[in-house]
Amino acid sequence: MPNRLAGETSPYLQQHADNPVDWFPWGEVALTLAKREDRPILLSIGYSACHWCHVMAHESFEDAEVAAVMNRLFVNIKVDREERPDLDQIYQTAQQMLTGRTGGWPLTMFLTPEGAPFFGGTYFPKAPRYGLPGFADLCRRVAEAWRDKRADIEQQNGELLRALAAGAAARPSSGALSAAPLQLAVERAAQSYDPQFGGFGGAPKFPHPADLELLLRRHAATGEARCGEMALTTLRRMAEGGLYDQLGGGFCRYSVDERWAIPHFEKMLYDNGPLLRLYADAWLISGDPLFRRVAGETAAWVMREMQAPEGGYYSSLDADSEHEEGKFYVWSREEVSRHSTAEEYAVVAAHYGLERSANFEGAHWHLLVALPLAEVAASLDRPLAECERLLASARDKLFVARERRIRPGRDEKILVSWNALMIEGMAHAGRVCSRADWLASARRALDFIRKAMWRDGRLLATCKDGRAHLNAYLDDYAYLLKAVLELLQAEFDTELLAFAEALGDALLAHFEDRKSTLSPDPSPASGRGEVPGSLRDQTGMGGFWFTSHDHEALIHRVKTGHDSAMPSGNGVAAFALQRLGHATGELRFLEAAERTVRLYYPDMERQPGGFATLLAALDEAIVPPVVVVLRGPQDQLAEWKRKISGHYWPWALALGLPAQAGALPTSLDKPARKGVNAWVCSGVKCLEPIDDFSCLERVCKSPELI
């Protein structure tokens, strides 16, 4: 008999619909029941691609005896952390405060009927092991503590809630902004950098795209060689390692070792969007064909396996297939030999390390680059070009063979925030690599979001099987605004610019931390240049809440500037609003961005680690981006845009306006002249129109000339 999860949109919740556990989704029904019966809540948070979530489900949630204990003692609530990142952020932070240990998934929290956490952890086994208690016994002990130690729990809850509130407090800076935090961030990165394998720190290793992008920006801005070396070496080692799918393209979530050799095998959309952008830029900077190939294979994987027929991008691929992590991806020597010729096998075995000891669970090989192909060619006394041909042929055959295996599950819900990261990555890489099909993929995804998930000036966070719901979060609006600005550089459209302004106004109206002195007016600005009434004459700390002002009331309202596995919503909002403000000339966007940067500036001064996205916004708050407005005949305009896209100028926002561009803000409304002309501004400083591309190159390469 299915429980209450069968009708949910989340594939993760649907996976638990037939558990003997009497699961509830998060909502008023479950919370009211807990209060009415004075029963504590057992909250379990996970996601569909999570390996240890599956392990705990198979061990405990599918076991009738364990379920009976859970049902008797608790109101049991199951949450998809991807649909409800607001809940996940609160209870992950609480878990770390309660236990002093880093959180993760599955997250297992025990709450009062009012939702306040009093005990928690992550994975718990069915029987005692790994130094952890058996889950059913743990449930009984927690229930006893709830019954016998209520006063202690209430005192702890008060302290925890005060600590959560204190963690969200910050005092903005009123002094001059300095680039010192940017340089300190580079110094701290260099201290933890692994020069042998790339990346930062030891195992486990995560990609951290925001940190790598900041290093590339600093390399371009300052010429500091070590910034480029740290970023490019890390990107190269990741691409050569098992973190990258050597046959199908795309990156797994993280590596369990310091060598990038063996990953946790789930593939997440939110990693691959920023990494696609980074690999295109790495190719632009270095000319290394490895980076272009990886960008191309990753984009191909996304379009082949992750894009819905309606246009949106799916969320993730599971780590497991047939209840075994990595089974879809790993090989035996016999399998590789059977699917390749003797000549192909000789190249593949040497290149991917099949001649060495098995690297996965003692009997299988997960493919990674063990020996560069040039060295393979030398060892086999064959021309490099011939080895490249043999490797490509073998890879094609192995890919076809792998496609016949039982595939990992795919989470087919469509999230605005994750889609926005991929839209930006696909649009940027498409522009840099001159791939119209990648740009078309990005436009299809954006069209789907605007059609299915943008209603009455507001976004909905998630959509599956035609059902869109849940108030969108800060990340949804901020990431999507940045993605739209990227698409505008690829192909300018006045309607798309208006959509960008609507997203910016929604951020200000529904998320900014500004205490109104007027009556609330939740509607966004109705037109260009108009400020919502609720934003006039306000005072407040600045920055943006993770949830909107009309969101469900929870035990804590999150506001943070730190990057996590995804970029900081506050950092992306500040960066994108600055660029939107400079492009349109609208001060409300610039002022909101400055308030956000100033709010977190003292934190960036003290400890810049984890603030890479906000540091990029700080960089452009100090030295405004170079806005290039191009006008001219379509064919010549396209050629100038292509040339601009061939340069790594991360501080530039180039907009090529067609002859019939429609109504434009004054800042973009430039007259048509003979040939192509470029109007270049940085902040309040503007140059005379430029009609020679070599002159434009000199200016964009050295913004101090403006």
Does residue 515 have a pLDDT over 90?
A: no
Phi, psi for 503 (deg, rounded to 5): -65, -40
Tens of pLDDT, residue by residue over 248-303, are 999 999 999 999 999 999 999 999 999 999 999 999 999 999 999 999 999 999 99
Contact of 51 with 325, CB cutoff 8 Å: yes
Does residue 528 have a pLDDT over 50?
A: no
Instruction: Name the pLDDT band for 706 (thresholds 50, 70, 90).
Output: confident
Contact of 670 with 658, CB cutoff 8 Å: no
Query: Looking at residue 382, what is its pLDDT?
Result: 97
DSSP line for 244-313: B-TTT--B-SEESSTTS-SEE--EEHHHHHHHHHHHHHHHHHH--HHHHHHHHHHHHHIIIIIB-TTSPB
Q: Report the pLDDT averaged over residues 231-258.
A: 98
Provide the pairing of β-strand 23-25 with 75-80. parallel
Q: Report the pLDDT averaged over residues 313-320.
A: 96
pTM for the full model? 0.95
Q: Token pair of 628, please?
A: 């290039």
Does residue 121 have a pLDDT over 80?
A: yes
Q: Report the pLDDT averaged over residues 71-83.
A: 98
Query: Looking at residue 540, what is its pLDDT?
Result: 64
DSSP line for 562-595: ---SS--HHHHHHHHHHHHHHHH--HHHHHHHHH
Name the most confidently modeled range: 281-285, 319-323, 663-667: 281-285
Q: Give CA separation, 569 vs 216, 305, 475, 490, 663, in Å.
A: 21, 27, 5, 24, 31
From CA 702, how far away is CA 575, in angstroms rounded? 21
From CA 164, how far away is CA 153, in angstroms rounded? 16
Does residue 107 have a pLDDT over 90?
A: yes
Tens of pLDDT, residue by residue over 182-231, are 999 999 999 999 999 999 999 999 999 999 999 999 999 999 999 999 99
Instruction: Name the pLDDT band for 1 (thresholds 50, 70, 90).
Output: low
Domains of the chain: 11-167 (3.40.30.10), 180-411 (no CATH), 448-622 (no CATH), 626-705 (no CATH)
Q: Return the SS3 of 620.
A: helix
Query: Looking at residue 538, what is its pLDDT?
Result: 38
Does residue 531 have a pLDDT over 50?
A: no
- What percent of the chain shows pLDDT beyond 70? 96
Contact of 201 with 192, CB cutoff 8 Å: yes
Tens of pLDDT, residue by residue over 3-55, are 899 999 999 999 999 999 999 999 999 999 999 999 999 999 999 999 999 99
Q: Report the pLDDT averaged over residues 568-580.
A: 98
Does residue 537 have a pLDDT over 60?
A: no
Query: Looking at residue 169, what is its pLDDT?
Result: 74
Sign for the CA dihedral angle at 569, 574, 576, 577 comes to positive
Q: Token pair of 705, please?
A: 């000339």
Q: Report the pLDDT averaged over residues 152-159.
A: 94
Tens of pLDDT, residue by residue over 160-195, are 999 998 877 778 988 999 999 999 999 999 999 999
Does residue 522 have a pLDDT over 70?
A: no
Tens of pLDDT, residue by residue over 362-389, are 899 999 999 999 999 999 999 999 999 9
Tens of pLDDT, residue by residue over 602-638, are 999 999 999 999 999 999 999 999 999 999 999 999 9
From CA 189, how far away is CA 233, in angstroms rounded? 14
Q: Return the SS3 of 614.
A: helix
Query: Hey, how many other C-beta atoms are within 10 angstroms of the C-beta on 201?
Result: 13
Q: Token pair of 457, please?
A: 């000036």
Query: Looking at residue 533, what is its pLDDT?
Result: 30
Tens of pLDDT, residue by residue over 480-490, are 999 999 999 99
